[in-house]
Structures are given as structure tokens and as C-alpha cells.
Structure 1
Amino acid sequence: MRLFRITGIFFLIILLHGCEEPVREDPFVGLGAARWDVGKSANFILSDDRFTALELEIAYMEGFRPTNFMMSEMTNFLGEVALKPAGVRIVEKEIPAGGEEFYTTSAIAELEDQYRESYNEGDTVSVFLLVVDGYFMQNEEEYFTIGAAYRNTSMVLFGKRIAENTGGFRRPGRGNLEATVALHELGHLLGLVNIGTDMVVPHEDPDEDHKYHCDNEDCLMYWAVETSNILNFMQNDVPELDDNCRNDLRANGGR
């Protein structure tokens, strides 16, 4: 008789528990929300609909800490284009030197998986910038890559390329080159051009080799900015977004 009562109570608990609504995970926070294609988080980074704060995590290899100028430019840029009433903050840390001459896209992703600590959480959207001590494996013969966006909230700078091509005769200052390339890649994370943020007016470069870039050579999102071609025309100041790019960001929830 006693065993029957205990069994009955246990059965009732199981029955009631089975009627509860299953707990659903938020697909927009945590590790899984940082594994999408470039541009897929543009609205989350730009608007305050889901996230009201932004954290920029910068992980740089030993000897390749970005300049204060670059970090200041990134903060100011995000403050200008993104609606984040709770603010934009930077978290930086040094990581061990990789010691590789070339880094593939998969190697870069593995480094992010190893060292990234900040992911979307609560009211904060997270963006990750990695600075490595080598070159990009897939460089083309006619020009080399200085930076790249490779996931929806992830980008990389090739610190050795920057160090070798700044500060000399007819070369830009390190801070200017870093900031220009970093802001260009950030623009891609914001969905420019036509990879997550729709164009108000068509202005994507018609050249198939330069897809996802602005057709205005004076714009920050011109294709040459992320390659060595920028060294041929870079001025003393960091290029700005043109009106078409700015209008695209506003239409997708930005300022």
C-alpha cells in the first residue's frame, strides 16, 4: 500500500512536469550567435531594438597591440553610426604570438575559438577583432590583404603587413592604416555593401571581383581599402563613409 502511494505521487509529478513548456534558448546570444555569415548581425550591431550596448573585444598577438588612435577611431565610428544608448566599450588583451608566417581562414577561426571570451549576452552585442603576427595565406599575386571580416561579428587584421607598410617614406602612419582597414571591415559587419544591409540606392561595385564594396573610390567601403592598393592613394586622414553607405545604415536601424 505504501509503495503504491509513492509510485502514484511519482507518476503525478512526471505527468505535471511533462505539461510544462520547454525552455527555449535565445538564438541571438552566446556562442551560436557568433557563427553566422558576415552581415547577418548588422541590425543587431546598428539598432537598439535587441541590444542597447556594444562591446568590442580586441585580442592582439604579442608585439602587435593596436594603436590608441585606432581604438579611439573605432569607438567614435560606432558611436556615430550605431544606436547604443548604453554605450560602446572596448576590452583588450594580449595573447601569445602565433609565430606563423601565414594564417588561413580556418586557422584564424580556430584562434578566435580559443581566445574569444565576449559573446552576445543580456543587452550587449559583442564584436571581436583579432590581430595576428603574420600574413594572410590567400594573398593574390597583384596585391596582399591587410584585413578581413570572416564571421558575422568577427574580423582580423594582419599586423605584420601593417607594420611593414607604415611609417616609411610615402607610407601612411600606422594608426591611420590600422584604423582605415579596421573600420572598413567593421563596415562589412554592419552589412555594407549589400551583405545584410539593403541599399537605399544601388551603389555596389559592378565589377564581379569587387562585390560587396562601394563604387565610390573616395568612400571607406571602396574595395582597395582592405588590400595593399590602399597604399597608392591613402591620404593623411581616415576615409569616411559616403552618403549612400550612411543612408543604408540608417535604413537598417542605425543613426
Structure 2
Amino acid sequence: MKFIRNKLILFAFLALLFQGCEEPIREDPFVGIGASRWDVGKSANFLLSDDRFTALELEIVYMEGFKPTSFMVSEMRDFLQELTLKPEGIRVTEREIPAEGEEFYTTDKIAELENRYRESYNDGNTVSVFLLVVDGFFMQNEEEYFTIGAAYRNTSMVLFGKRIAENSGGFRKPGRGNLEATVALHELGHLLGLVNIGTEMVTPHEDTDQDREFHCDNADCLMYWAVETSNVLNFMQNSVPELDENCRNDLRANGGR
């Protein structure tokens, strides 16, 4: 009996020893909800390269009455296919949610709506981008300019549908699809780290004006500061502006095409 008891004690000791030697299970910090709560630009390399994620999902959630044009969706897909390395492809999903009926949306309210309605997060080999289209205006509009869209988290952006509807499709106004696509691609550019917010500049080209930081100094570039404000109405031509060579070089240097 003494031999058996000593043997059981030995087994128990060895079990504790091996258990203590096991590596603790660590959660992947780059997937799930937590990986979508970073600052704008922090996921630029993940979005651009195939080092960690080889596929990309664009989740578009829009309020009733503000479904984006197929032109905007197509432009976003083409933009990502042209600039990112995702050998397993880019997938787009669209979903309607109830209109909130609010005239103004604060940044806190926008974040709360994302928390409520977002379904796609980084998972496995897929990195996710979230676009929300709301039925109102941005609360923090300045007197001189109003905001049409914004990137507000590392993989999150918002368009203000009522602003787009009011400022497109009429006399001397851009077509709705062109305006939507221009602002959406500009904000997507910020998620990719342009200009100098997660993707370093190969050649200095950030606007030096204090009110225009994080934007390109080239007035013909998609990342020019005017694009995300009411100034875009004077800035737009009959087509969506393109990234200039400086912005493209930045993206290539950070793992993109």
C-alpha cells in the first residue's frame, strides 16, 4: 500500500509539473472585436499586404432610404483590388438597417451604431472593413464647412447620407454616385494609412497647413483635404479623383501593390 501511495503522489507531482510547463493559451490580438477598436491607420499594413491577411471583406451597412449606389460599391471594390495584395479575394456584403431618424449624429452615436450592427470582424485569414451610411448629418460640422464622410476607427468609416442626397444630382451638382464614391474612397485611403497616419511617406507630401494635416498637398489627388468636406463640390470634376504617385508609392512601400 505504501508503494502505491508513493506512486500516486509521484504521478500527481508529475502532472502538476507538466501542467506548469504548458504554454498559456494566448488570444490573437489581431482578430475579433478588439482588433477593430484601434486608431485610424493602425491596420494599414494588414489591409494592404498579404503578410497576415490574404482576404478582405467590406461590410456595408446602410439605413433605410440611403442604400449606396452600385457605382460606389463597384468603385470601392476596384480600388481595393488595385491597391491591396489579397490573393484570396475581396468580398462585399450589403445590409439595410432601420433608419434612426436623427438629424445629427455624434461620434459616440456612430460608434454605438457600429457596436450594435457590425457583424464582420477580422477572422482567420480575412481582414474586415466596415462602412456605415446614416440618415442624418454630422454633429460637429463647422460653420464654414460641413462633413460628408469620416474614418473614425482603424477599420471603420461613415458616410452622411442626407448630406450626400442634398448635394448631388441637381443643377451644377455632381452625380450621387460620383460624390459617394469620391468621399468613400478618400476615407478608405485614410484607413490604408494615407497621409502619414500608419503608412509612412516615401516622399514628404503631407499638407503643412495645420487645419489640413493627414492630407495630400496635391490639389488633384484623391487625398486632398477638400474631398471630405463641402469643398468637394467645387473640387470635383465629372469623375472620381485618383491617388497621385506620391500616395501610391506610400502604399506600395507599406505592402500594397
Q: TM-score of the superposition, structure 2-length normalised?
A: 0.95
Q: Secondary structure at the match of 1:148?
A: strand
Query: What is the deviation of 1:222?
Result: 0.3
**C-alpha distance in 2 between matches for 1:48 and 1:8:** 49
Task: Give the one of 130, 133, 136 matched to 2:135.
Answer: 133
Alignment of 1:231-242 (within 5 A): 231-242=233-244
1:14 shift after superposition: 3.6
Q: CA deviation at 1:26?
A: 1.1
Residues 54-93 of structure 1: pairs in structure 2 closer than 5 A: 54-93=56-95
**Within 2, Cα distance between the matches of 1:115 and 1:224?**
30
The 3-state SS of whatever aligns with 1:228 is coil
Q: Which residue of 1 aligns with 2:221?
A: 219
Q: Residue 226 of structure 2 contacts residue 235 of structure 2 at CA under 8 Å; is this kept in 1?
A: no
Q: Distance in 2 between matches of 1:155 and 1:30?
A: 18
Alpha-carbon displacement from aligned partner over 1:112-145 (angstroms, at most 9, x marks no partner) = 1111111111111100000001100000000100
From 18, 23, 26, give the equivalent of 2:25. 23
Using the size of structure 1 for normalisation, the TM-score is 0.96
Q: Which of 106, 109, 124 lines up with 1:107 in the alignment?
A: 109
Runs of 4+ in 1 over 2 A off after TM superposition: 1-16
Q: Pairwise mapping of residues 1-255 of structure 1 onto structure 2 (< 5 A)?
A: 12-255=14-257
Amino acid in the other structure paired with 2:120: S
CA distance in 1 between partners of 2:24 and 2:133 (Å): 41
Q: Retained in 1: the 8 A contact 2:227–2:235?
A: no
User: C-alpha distance in 1, partners of 2:144/2:7?
Assistant: 81
Q: Percent identity?
A: 80
Query: Which secondary structure state, in structure 2, belongs to the residue aligned with residue 94 of structure 1?
Result: strand
> How far apart are residue 27 of structure 1 and its match?
1.1
Counterparts of 1:63 and 1:11, CA distance in 2 = 67
Please identify, of 5-14 and 25-34, the stretch whose mean Cα deviation from structure 2 is larger: 5-14
8 Å contact kept, 2:157–2:187: yes
Is the CA contact (8 Å cut-off) linking 2:192 and 2:251 kept in structure 1?
Answer: yes
Letter in 2 for 1:46: L
Distance 1:68 1:6 in 2: 70
- Give the Cα–Cα distance (whole angstroms) in 2 for the partners of residues 158 and 134 of structure 1: 6
CA distance in 1, matches of 2:14, 2:244: 65
Greater shift, 41-50 or 18-27, is seen at 18-27
In structure 2, distance between residues paired with 1:197 and 1:138: 27
Aligned-partner Cα distance in 2 for 1:19–1:159? 56
Gaps (5+ residues) in structure 2? Answer: none
